[in-house]
Amino acid sequence: MPSTVTSRRRQLGNEIRRARIAASMTQQEVAELLGCRQGKVNKIESGTVAVKQAELKSMLEAFQTSDTEAEVMLELARSSAGQRGQWSGYRSAVPHWFRTFTDLEPAAGEILSWHGERIPGPLQSEHYMLTQFSEDRATDVTSLVRNRQDRKQVFDLDRPPYYRFVLGEAAFRRIPGGPNPPVALDQVEHLLELGERYPRVFIHVLPFDVRLAFVPNDFTMMRFSDATKDFVFIEHAAGGIYLDDENDFELFVDSWDRLRGAALEVNESVEFLQGLAAEFRSKMSF
């Protein structure tokens, strides 16, 4: 899978954190060394902000990092610098809090995504997108649709991530703007096509009648085969949060396992979707 600026920056942050801990230094001590606040050091280690070469060299010297390890980190810093204009033009419509997610998406080895009442961006048909953005009274529908379509390029990579979705039955019943058989049919047929076309896309439906104590809020987990730290992304009304604490991550792994265990298998999901398509088709007036 390809390496992105964000994934390299996160790799570098992980290496800096590891070297700092090995040197028995705190983030506050590093901040005093660099003449900045502790918050900036935390952002450097989480990959949120870039680190300057001079800052990195000061840290490497203080950590007494070996020449080999230092060269690896310096190269990561060089390769993750720049990229101005990456979010210009129609891509500027992507919210700031979601840009890390979209940049890391093609770099992941495996992505596990649960959505209870909506179709996630990479799976949306164009008809569904247009309906959603129109109902939301978006001002720049064209840019938003182009961004959504850009994300679908992750499926066409030479080595795309294994992308596994669990979708609640409500996601097909609660169409943006209310009942709309043509949009619902278009979306279901689009999912069936994606499942046939891409061998690394797995769609599992969670029907209403499964036995579960509860279903959690929507979340997506990304796993990486390189030094990028695995994380969970949770979207909310004010933006989104990224959790990469190992204990937190394992809690979501448990939630995923419960959802996936209760959901239909891929072939069963195909039959379920085909049944939905027939139902929506019967409700259309010609």
Phi, psi of 217 (to 5 degrees): -65, 160
Tokens representing residue 147 in the block: 């961004």
Q: Which domains does the chain have, with CATH numbers?
A: 5-79 (1.10.260.40), 93-282 (3.30.870)
Among the ranges given (33-47, 112-126, 170-184, 249-263), the one the predictor scored with the smallest mean pLDDT:
33-47
- Report d(CA 10, CA 182) in Å as an integer: 43
Start-end of H helices in the chain:
5-22, 27-34, 38-46, 53-63, 67-79, 96-104, 126-135, 141-151, 170-173, 181-197, 246-262, 266-282
What count of other Cβ atoms lies within 10 Å of the Cβ of residue 193?
11
Question: What pLDDT does residue 284 have?
Answer: 87
Cα angle for residues 93, 230, 87 (degrees, 5° grid)? 20
pLDDT confidence tier of residue 250, bands split at 50, 70 and 90:
very high
User: 22: number of CA atoms within 13 Å, CB side?
Assistant: 14
Question: What pLDDT does residue 86 have?
Answer: 65
Phi, psi of 112 (to 5 degrees): -115, 120
pLDDT confidence tier of residue 87, bands split at 50, 70 and 90:
low
Cα angle for residues 169, 247, 215 (degrees, 5° grid)? 15
pLDDT in tens, 101-119: 988 898 899 999 999 999 9
- Report d(CA 155, CA 86) in Å as an integer: 21
What count of other Cβ atoms lies within 10 Å of the Cβ of residue 23?
15
Contact (Cβ atoms closer than 8 angstroms) between residue 64 and residue 35 = no
Q: Is the per-residue pLDDT at 91 higher than 80?
A: no
Question: What pLDDT does residue 267 have?
Answer: 97
Contact (Cβ atoms closer than 8 angstroms) between residue 7 and residue 104 = yes
Cα angle for residues 102, 103, 104 (degrees, 5° grid)? 95
Strand-strand pairing, 110-115 and 201-206: unpaired
Question: What pLDDT does residue 43 have?
Answer: 85
Could you give the dihedral angle defined by the CA atoms of residues 22, 27, 28 and 32, in that order, rounded to the nearest 10 degrees? 80
Q: Which residue has the higher pLDDT, 120 or 9?
A: 120
Q: Is the per-residue pLDDT at 53 higher than 90?
A: no
Q: Is the per-residue pLDDT at 84 higher than 70?
A: no
Rg, C-alpha atoms of the chain: 22
Phi, psi of 183 (to 5 degrees): -70, -45
pLDDT in tens, 222-248: 999 877 889 999 999 899 999 988 999
Question: What pLDDT does residue 286 have?
Answer: 61
* Percent of residues, the chain, with pLDDT higher than 70: 95
pLDDT in tens, 126-138: 999 999 999 999 8
Best-predicted range by mean pLDDT (63-77, 85-99, 108-122): 108-122
Round the average pLDDT of the chain to a whole number and report it: 90
Start-end of H helices in 117-180:
126-135, 141-151, 170-173
Task: Please tell me the pTM assigned to this model.
Answer: 0.77
Q: Which of 128, 16, 96, 92 is nearest to 61 (CA)?
A: 16
pLDDT in tens, 151-176: 899 999 999 999 999 999 999 999 99
